[in-house]
Structure 1
């Protein structure tokens, strides 16, 4: 009987030791995985930073443009671009690629996905640049009032089958677009944009900025003035991603 008890205790101690070793190995494996995830995130961030720097180095004009700090791309994808410069104009088309492709690679148009386009044009004067901004003061334009949350009032205006919900934030005029047969979608998008901008800042325009956000992902447009320069973001399908890219220019 004593021998059986002794063997039982010995077996219990062996199993306990094995479990402890297994738990230690699991913990070490989990820690390794956590480190790998953190390293992967850091590598992705570094790759975007390097890509944006390389894109800027391809711009050979005397236009002191600003670049976004990051762009929304899928995990495991790479940021790249094509660039075009003129005397007073810079065009950058940002791409998301499954492989790390060089800037201005001729394969991009056929093997990568467009994230959006940035145009930066320099005018002879700030007054000339300001004429390019379609700024609206919606409270003065009138229209049906609507509560967009966060103490922001929107104003709705319909015409030619379209319904616009517009509001102002600082020196920005922003409007969501939908069709008159789908009014709820326009209000929903406007409220989503207002909520997003509560925690994200659009670039400070000098003097004004405007944004058109399209429910049907076909006409998103964000334009702002920086003295003699006019920045234009377009070719971005998702209206909230358009805002995300624009806010990446702040400050």
Structure 2
């Protein structure tokens, strides 16, 4: 081998060695291998992007064409009469909905100029539909009149119900008693009934009288509401009178005590309940049943002749037992001194009278209703 050839090969070998990559450690080699194994980054592809945009425009055109067809069908098929009535009731909602649809159509026209002509037709159709709906709100058709008639009937019914409710509150027994008490001008302590029973469908009213040392409230029931102290009550029939309550002020407690006429019942043999017995006696053509409950004296008086007895309350024994049973669950007011309850079963003047003493004042309640109705007027709630 010649010297020149040897030098050329050595020079070539040297160059090849210099081109080989040099690595100082195993870490560099592993790092380079990992770098080579990494996936290439996403590359922007214009063709795919353009194709996607074309697909979007195509779908938008189809939707716009469909909406235009739907609007033309609406204009071709007018709303039936029953639906027109609903439109007139909700005109504001329909107008708002139509404006939203019009805005969407205009936005579609701007996004897709190629379908501008189709959008114009749909917009015109929608406008015609809106105008037809607007005319429905003012057009007099059977459906609209029926709807408006129903609304008017409902309003009239509602107003009537409110008036009845207001009237029932204004003329309720409680409201009438309050007005009657306010009309009294007296220095006597005022005590009103806890309730006044009134027949169904009737109204309570009152006629008051008062002075410095007494007051009196006459109670009536009428078929129509009548104001308290109305002039017509001065000539009202006695059959409409429910009863009366009031009070009187006397000069002393001793004088007031004489008006009550309380006494202690002894030697009672008629058993009215497990712990109450009554005394039965007859005097001057009348039978008397009497008993005590606390500071109260109870008396039931009836004629000895059965033909003179008022049958509406029941027999004297039945009335006495009903009163005892009712007072086992309800409480009479505790009088300052004493109180008396008398039931008269005479056919001429059936009545229950309740009196009780508070110092110099005697309070009283009288009613032609049943004895239980009279007790309801004074028992505590």
Q: Shorter-normalised TM-score: what interval? A: 0.7 to 0.9
The one-character-per-residue Cα deviations of 1:47-96 (angstroms, maximum 9, x if unpaired) are 22221111111001122211112200012322210001122010110111
Change (3 A) 1:239 1:246: same
2:304 matches 1:172: no
CA distance, structure 2, for counterparts of residue 239 and residue 132 of structure 1? 21
SS class of match (2:172):
helix
Q: How does 1:32-47 map to 2 (within 5 A)?
A: 43=168, 47=172
Q: State the TM-score, normalizing by the size of structure 2.
A: 0.50
Give the structure 1 partner of residue 324 of structure 2.
194
2:356 matches 1:224: yes
Instruction: Tell me how far 1:103 sits from its aligned partner.
Output: 0.8
Give the structure 2 partner of residue 22 of structure 1.
none
Report the structure number with the largest CA radius of gyration.
2
Match of 2:191 among 66, 71, 74: 66
CA distance, structure 2, for counterparts of residue 209 and residue 163 of structure 1? 21
2:279 matches 1:155: yes
CA distance, structure 2, for counterparts of residue 44 and residue 150 of structure 1? 42
SS class of match (1:205):
coil
Match of 2:257 among 113, 117, 130: 130
CA distance, structure 1, for counterparts of residue 305 and residue 185 of structure 2? 48
The 8 Å contact of residues 300 and 342 in structure 2, kept in 1 or not, is answered as: yes
Change (3 A) 1:47 1:220: closer
CA distance, structure 1, for counterparts of residue 351 and residue 261 of structure 2? 15
CA distance, structure 1, for counterparts of residue 205 and residue 258 of structure 2? 32
The 8 Å contact of residues 215 and 239 in structure 1, kept in 2 or not, is answered as: no
Give the structure 1 partner of residue 241 of structure 2.
114
CA distance, structure 1, for counterparts of residue 369 and residue 255 of structure 2? 29
Backbone CA RMSD of aligned residues: 2.5
Q: How does 1:89-108 map to 2 (within 5 A)?
A: 89-108=214-233
CA distance, structure 1, for counterparts of residue 203 and residue 274 of structure 2? 36
SS class of match (1:242):
helix
SS class of match (1:246):
coil
2:310 matches 1:185: no
Match of 2:345 among 190, 210, 215: 215
The one-character-per-residue Cα deviations of 1:171-224 (angstroms, maximum 9, x if unpaired) are 000011122345991111100111111112212111000011123352422111
Deviates more, 1:199-208 or 1:107-116: 107-116
Give the structure 2 partner of residue 239 of structure 1.
371
Instruction: Name the structure with the higher strand share.
Output: 1
CA distance, structure 2, for counterparts of residue 57 and residue 204 of structure 1? 25
Unaligned runs of 5+ in 1: 1-35
Change (3 A) 1:190 1:44: farther
CA distance, structure 2, for counterparts of residue 196 and residue 83 of structure 1? 30
CA distance, structure 2, for counterparts of residue 196 and residue 44 of structure 1? 29
Q: State the TM-score, normalizing by the size of structure 1.
A: 0.74
Change (3 A) 1:44 1:196: farther
Change (3 A) 1:81 1:46: closer
The one-character-per-residue Cα deviations of 1:133-172 (angstroms, maximum 9, x if unpaired) are 1102112xx4x61000141101111111111110100100
Deviates more, 1:223-232 or 1:164-173: 223-232
Instruction: Tell me how far 1:227 sits from its aligned partner.
Output: 1.5
